[in-house]
């Protein structure tokens, strides 16, 4: 789900860099306000590498195979570091493999990173539920929502950016219909990623709960 | 430390010796200027500049072809239908199937821009060591958190990918991870989820050891003295000036509407 170089007009690429800089600045400011900002750097970096590796695994869904985007899970685990992690991951992909691109780095970071931040905020809603609710049920439900929202929003943003910026003479109605068709065709994958995120989060909750409640990935209160 | 991305950084072309900051600014300004190109007549000069720079860089053609392969397929998937659906001027028709001139022009424009931007980006990353590139970005004001994260992610990417491959082999040996079968199993989902969860836990635990080792070596403490600034040859500044003029030329000519 990366926009390659050459497709988007330069003003869109520059606007992408502008909004990405603003979002990265907001995340960095929040991280710098935490008690020990440097503590989170190696953790975020190694977890970014782990997400990078895990997202390359393909699951067979005939007639093709798919791989998970994992931006929702990244948001849940890394918090404010998630946007920076995605920026770093996209930069490395562009430099190492030529996936995505350097001019589209800003737009791609927004497409993947903003849904990751939204997924983080959705998952954190669990802190507001009273203790009377089943903790496991709430965690699983919010993790599902975070995972599905992460990839769902990224899908909508990606196809919107592509369809509305192609130098074509397609009419607006055709573009909207194409967008709706493409998003609907991805609904099973969005559901699958939601289920996958919920299973991973419930596993982490049972085995290493501190990974989900790290002070280094949250804003200093 | 020899990195995978640094395969051709030891060559002796002029572009390899260009001062990194000037090179980054000069080549990135060209990249963005090419992204501004909207007129077909500007494609030829753009391709000429790109090919000349690649020739000067002394990077092998096989390197370029290898890096173009995957993104080209992706690009093809996006633009392949444009000639059939985009435009009004029909240049060929067979029954209900028509090919439009405007759609074909769009494909040529996008493909040329894609080739030029990717090639210039490849020249930048292929002639500059990865660590130098990160230092340059930092010296130009990029946050230390971002540069440190990039460096550490790159440093541990191969380690963690290796761990993951070992874990998957172990799982397969125990009868899990049946990826060889051509159909989807619901069992695959929890198996892969637990594998991913375990990888995250292992990486997290490793990161704590890495952080302690970094602290012992003085990470996070204020620096005693800055490293000396690299010498800037006059040639580097002249090359930067030429790049900026060429980039500005593409933007001004393209947006001034000359040649239309």
Lowest mean pLDDT among A150-154, B64-68, B102-106, B183-187: B183-187
Q: What is the pLDDT of residue A66?
A: 73
Q: What is the pLDDT of residue B258?
A: 56
Residues of B in contact with A47 (CB under 8 A): 200, 203-204, 207
Residue A146 pLDDT level (bands cut at 50, 70, 90): very high
Q: What is the pLDDT of residue B251?
A: 87
B18 touches chain A (CB under 8 A): no
Tell me: do B122 and B183 sit in the same domain: no
Tell me: do B51 and B131 sit in the same domain: yes
Asked if the model's pLDDT at residue B194 lies above 70, the reply is: yes
Q: How many domains does chain B have?
A: 2
Residue A133, CB-side half-sphere exposure with 13 Å CA sphere: 13
B203 touches chain A (CB under 8 A): yes
On whether residue B182 sits in a domain, the answer given is yes
Tell me: do B114 and B58 sit in the same domain: yes
Residue A44 pLDDT level (bands cut at 50, 70, 90): confident
Tell me: do B149 and B122 sit in the same domain: no
The model's pLDDT over B31-46, given as tens digits with 9 standing for 90+, comes to 999 988 888 888 999 9
Residues of B in contact with A52 (CB under 8 A): 153, 157, 160-161
* CB < 8 Å from A in window 46-105 of B: 67-68, 70-71, 74-75, 78-79, 82, 85-88, 100, 102-103
Q: What is the pLDDT of residue A221?
A: 36
Tell me: do B180 and B108 sit in the same domain: no
Query: What does residue B98 show for φ and ψ, rounded to 5 degrees?
Result: -125, 150
What b/e string do you get for A124-151 counting C-beta neighbours within 10 Å, with b at 16 or more? bebeeeeeeeeeeebbbbbbbbbbbbbb
Asked if the model's pLDDT at residue B1 lies above 50, the reply is: no
Residue A119 near residue A150 (C-beta atoms within 8 A): yes
On whether residue B227 sits in a domain, the answer given is no
Tell me: do B37 and B157 sit in the same domain: no
Q: Please, what is the Cα angle at B145 between B140 and B151, to 5 degrees? A: 85
On whether residue B226 sits in a domain, the answer given is no
Cα distance from B257 to chain A (closest Cα, Å)? 16
Tell me: do B132 and B10 sit in the same domain: yes
On whether residue B260 sits in a domain, the answer given is no
Residue B180 pLDDT level (bands cut at 50, 70, 90): low
Residue from B26, B102, B120, B207 to probe the interface with A (highest A Cβ count within 10 Å): B207
Q: What is the pTM of this model?
A: 0.85
ipTM of the prediction greater than 0.95, yes or no = no
Tell me: do B148 and B127 sit in the same domain: no
Tell me: do B208 and B135 sit in the same domain: no
Cα–Cα distance, B3 to A4 (Å, whole number)? 24
On whether residue B228 sits in a domain, the answer given is no
Cα–Cα distance, B119 to B211 (Å, whole number)? 37
Residues of A in contact with B64 (CB under 8 A): none
On whether residue B29 sits in a domain, the answer given is yes
Asked if the model's pLDDT at residue B227 lies above 70, the reply is: no
Residue from A59, A98, A213 to probe the interface with B (highest B Cβ count within 10 Å): A98
pLDDT: which is higher, A67 or B245: B245
Distances (CA, A) of B81 to B75, B76, B161, B231: 11, 9, 37, 51
Asked if the model's pLDDT at residue B259 lies above 60, the reply is: no
Tell me: do B62 and B75 sit in the same domain: yes
Of B106, B146, B199, the CB nearest to A50: B199
Tell me: do B50 and B104 sit in the same domain: yes
Query: How far does chain A reach from its first CA to its final CA, in angstroms?
Result: 35
**Taking CB atoms and an 8 Å limit, are B192 and A166 in contact across chains?**
no
Tell me: do B119 and B200 sit in the same domain: no
Name the residue range of residue B249's domain.
Answer: 4-139+236-255
The model's pLDDT over A46-105, given as tens digits with 9 standing for 90+, comes to 888 888 888 777 776 666 667 788 899 999 998 899 999 999 999 988 888 777 788 899
Residue B2 pLDDT level (bands cut at 50, 70, 90): very low
Q: Any idea which residue has 């500005």 for tokens? A: B248
Q: What is the pLDDT of residue B27?
A: 94
B209 touches chain A (CB under 8 A): no
Residues forming beta bridges with residue B5, ordered by sequence position: none
């Amino acid at each position: 789900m990366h926009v390659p170089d050459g497709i988007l007009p330069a003003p869109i690429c520059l606007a992408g860099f502008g909004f990405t800089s603003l979002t990265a600045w907001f995340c960095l400011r929040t991280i710098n306000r935490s008690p020990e900002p440097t503590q989170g750097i190696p953790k975020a970096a190694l977890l970014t590498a782990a997400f990078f590796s895990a997202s390359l695994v393909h699951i067979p869904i005939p007639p093709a195979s798919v791989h998970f985007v994992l931006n929702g899970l990244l948001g849940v685990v890394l918090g404010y570091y998630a946007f920076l992690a995605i920026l770093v991951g996209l930069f490395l992909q562009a430099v190492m493999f030529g996936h995505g691109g350097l001019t589209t780095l800003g737009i791609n970071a927004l497409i993947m990173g903003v849904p990751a931040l939204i997924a983080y905020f959705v998952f954190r809603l669990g802190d507001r539920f009273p203790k009377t609710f089943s903790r496991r049920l709430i965690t699983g439900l919010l993790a599902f929502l975070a995972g599905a929202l992460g990839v769902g929003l990224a899908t909508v943003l990606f196809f919107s950016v592509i369809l509305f910026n192609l130098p074509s003479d397609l009419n607006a109605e055709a573009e909207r219909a194409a967008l709706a068709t493409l998003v609907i065709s991805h609904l099973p994958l969005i559901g699958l990623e939601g289920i996958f995120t919920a299973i991973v989060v419930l596993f982490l909750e049972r085995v290493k709960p501190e990974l989900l409640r790290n002070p280094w990935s949250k804003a200093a209160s | 430390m020899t990195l995978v991305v640094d395969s051709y950084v030891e060559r002796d072309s002029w572009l390899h010796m260009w001062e990194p900051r000037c090179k980054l600014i000069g080549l990135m300004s060209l990249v963005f200027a090419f992204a501004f190109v909207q007129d077909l007549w500007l494609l030829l000069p753009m391709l000429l500049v790109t090919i000349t720079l690649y020739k000067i860089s002394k990077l092998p053609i096989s390197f370029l072809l290898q890096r173009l392969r995957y993104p080209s397929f992706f690009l093809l998937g996006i633009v392949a239908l444009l000639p059939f659906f985009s435009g009004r001027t029909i240049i060929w028709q067979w029954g209900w199937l028509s090919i439009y001139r405007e759609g074909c022009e769009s494909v040529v424009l996008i493909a040329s821009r894609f080739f030029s931007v990717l090639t210039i980006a490849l020249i930048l990353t292929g002639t500059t060591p990865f660590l130098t590139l990160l230092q340059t970005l930092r010296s130009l004001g990029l946050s230390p958190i971002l540069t440190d994260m990039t460096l550490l992610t790159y440093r541990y990417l191969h380690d963690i990918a290796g761990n993951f491959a070992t874990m998957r082999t172990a799982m397969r040996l125990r009868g899990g991870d049946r990826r060889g079968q051509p159909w989807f199993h619901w069992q695959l989902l929890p198996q892969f989820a637990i594998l991913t969860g375990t990888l995250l836990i292992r990486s997290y635990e490793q990161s704590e050891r890495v952080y302690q080792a970094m602290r012992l070596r003085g990470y996070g403490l204020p620096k005693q003295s800055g490293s000396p600034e690299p010498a800037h040859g006059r040639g580097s500044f002249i090359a930067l000036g030429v790049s900026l003029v060429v980039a500005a030329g593409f933007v001004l000519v393209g947006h001034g509407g000359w040649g239309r």
